Structure 1
């Protein structure tokens, strides 16, 4: 059974922010979060190739298994889980399907994202409810959840340590949190640079004769540019793994540890995703999708089995963190 907080219906603004709203958001971080994520909500799964089939179930479970101790994995599932900054529900919904938790709650500052996440949960037949919520003040009682998860959310939160304190508060004693997909400082620098170079090169190339059919309509490109302007505003932090561990310890967590992933995989992934955003949907076809996925999978294996042995943890693009509420 799926519920949607009525606030999700009452608060959702126009999903396409105007230039005036974008300018106002430059001075209001949380307004920027709502505008950007409401704007992206209905197309977010397509943009980031998110699905709720075995491909993404395996991906979500892989991130979880990479950071949680093996002996705890043998006791799954957790009874009740919370996803913080759920977006479209990608992480928690796939983790539930993977047998990590029986039931869950999704929260996000964006009403549009809560709508999509709960709708996705309903279509999958999962036991999920949703609330519009601020990660710095989670609207649940102390000792409510066995597990709290999030994917690519901490870098959007103004006060990360305050949010982690809230996470520890709503966890039951002995409960665990897992956050994945957070950008490292070094990784974010090269990923942004590669994405920017790819965007500029692709737009210029598509102005050549014979390539006009490969270019999205100018109105869509202009809209993407306005969305990108908001994206620069909503991405508030990058992390050094040791600093993130210290924040979690300061928040009261124990058994804190980090792991990182995607080095060469990120160097492929960011140009690929950027190129895809400039091309009309469906233009690239199945062959391209197979190349992109297999290329990312292969380089992820290389990163995990070779580069991880010699490259510092902070040079990888993504860092994940876990910790436990003291019993």
Structure 2
């Protein structure tokens, strides 16, 4: 079974936003979402070290189980909201969480890449370009709705969750992971900014020039960073996110959080990777980055989670159920 998309209904990706389009997007958050994510679509997996092998299957399923447990697996049909390149749903499907799936995103470029990834993996997935506040599926369609790092991009989170509950079958579950906490976003932004400035400044030195990306790429990254300030609309306190989900109509709502020490390493690592030529970073770097993240995640889960308030951790996860079954 292969991926498919509706014939002739989705707009084409626009991977190279002009300065004029970026200026217009500063006043239109949904246009900014499309431009920013179309710009990133073809390189997004590389930028965030996303893969569709055991490493990311383990990561995605681990987030799902941490939020919702392992009961009722596999779900028959799942929807990923704000799918990006399909990282969360495709790896969950490979991990036995869902049998078939649908992907949606406001960005045509992201839907295109997600469907291509699904096809390469031989997964039963369809996709649509769609606004998360008006999901283009019938009531009671899905057994599961998932998303990763998507709620903070949506202007009206409560309206989106109402739509999620509408398309879920009674008793169906939603799981959203990877949302930035308010406290975590503060220190992550500062770590990223300091790392970017330090790296791009030091690599101006003549003997480090081969560690510097071409200026055109750095300028384009800076333009994307300007858009990022427009597309990242929210940060969340876990308790507040629980209130939003209950207000939307969900039951059995529970928020949790993870990555404190791991985030303190992860954000400088990711920023450094974005600032230097990718060919400079080989297998040893990847092993260091992933190994360091895993080790610090263990410290977070087994030590710091017992003494640090959940609002201090970077990633927030939320799950809930549609009543009626």
What band does the TM-score fall into relative to the shorter chain? over 0.9
- Unaligned runs of 5+ residues in structure 1 are none
SS state at 1:42 partner: helix
Contact 1:261-1:303 within 8 A present in 2 as well? yes
Q: Which residue of 2 aligns with 1:145?
A: 142
SS state at 2:76 partner: strand
Task: Compute the displacement of 1:58 (Å).
Answer: 0.2
- Are 2:2 and 1:5 aligned? no
For 1:205 and 1:101, locate their aligned partners in 2 and report how far apart those are by CA, in whole Å: 47
- Are 2:14 and 1:14 aligned? yes
Alignment length (residue pairs):
323
For 1:261 and 1:139, locate their aligned partners in 2 and report how far apart those are by CA, in whole Å: 32
Q: Which residue of 2 aligns with 1:56?
A: 56
Deviations 1:62-94 (A, max 9, x none): 00110114xxx2431000000000000000000
For 2:74 and 2:30, locate their aligned partners in 1 and report how far apart those are by CA, in whole Å: 34
Q: Which residue of 2 aligns with 1:99?
A: 96
1:220-299 matches, within 5 Å, as 220-299=217-296
For 1:197 and 1:256, locate their aligned partners in 2 and report how far apart those are by CA, in whole Å: 37
4+ aligned runs moved over 2 Å, structure 1: 5-8
Task: Indicate which of 284, 304, 309 corresponds to 1:307.
Answer: 304
SS state at 1:2 partner: coil
For 1:7 and 1:42, locate their aligned partners in 2 and report how far apart those are by CA, in whole Å: 21
- Unaligned runs of 5+ residues in structure 2 are none
Task: Indicate which of 317, 321, 324 corresponds to 2:318.
Answer: 321
Task: Compute the displacement of 1:214 (Å).
Answer: 0.4
Q: TM-score, normalising length from structure 1?
A: 0.97
Contact 2:14-2:109 within 8 A present in 1 as well? no
Q: TM-score, normalising length from structure 2?
A: 0.98
Task: Compute the displacement of 1:121 (Å).
Answer: 0.3
Deviations 1:187-239 (A, max 9, x none): 00000000000000111111123000000011111111111111111000000
Q: Which residue of 2 aligns with 1:173?
A: 170
Task: Compute the displacement of 1:13 (Å).
Answer: 4.4
For 2:8 and 2:251, locate their aligned partners in 1 and report how far apart those are by CA, in whole Å: 35
Contact 1:185-1:239 within 8 A present in 2 as well? yes
Contact 1:7-1:132 within 8 A present in 2 as well? no
Task: Indicate which of 121, 124, 133 corresponds to 1:124.
Answer: 121
Alignment RMSD, CA only? 0.9
Task: Compute the displacement of 1:4 (Å).
Answer: 1.6
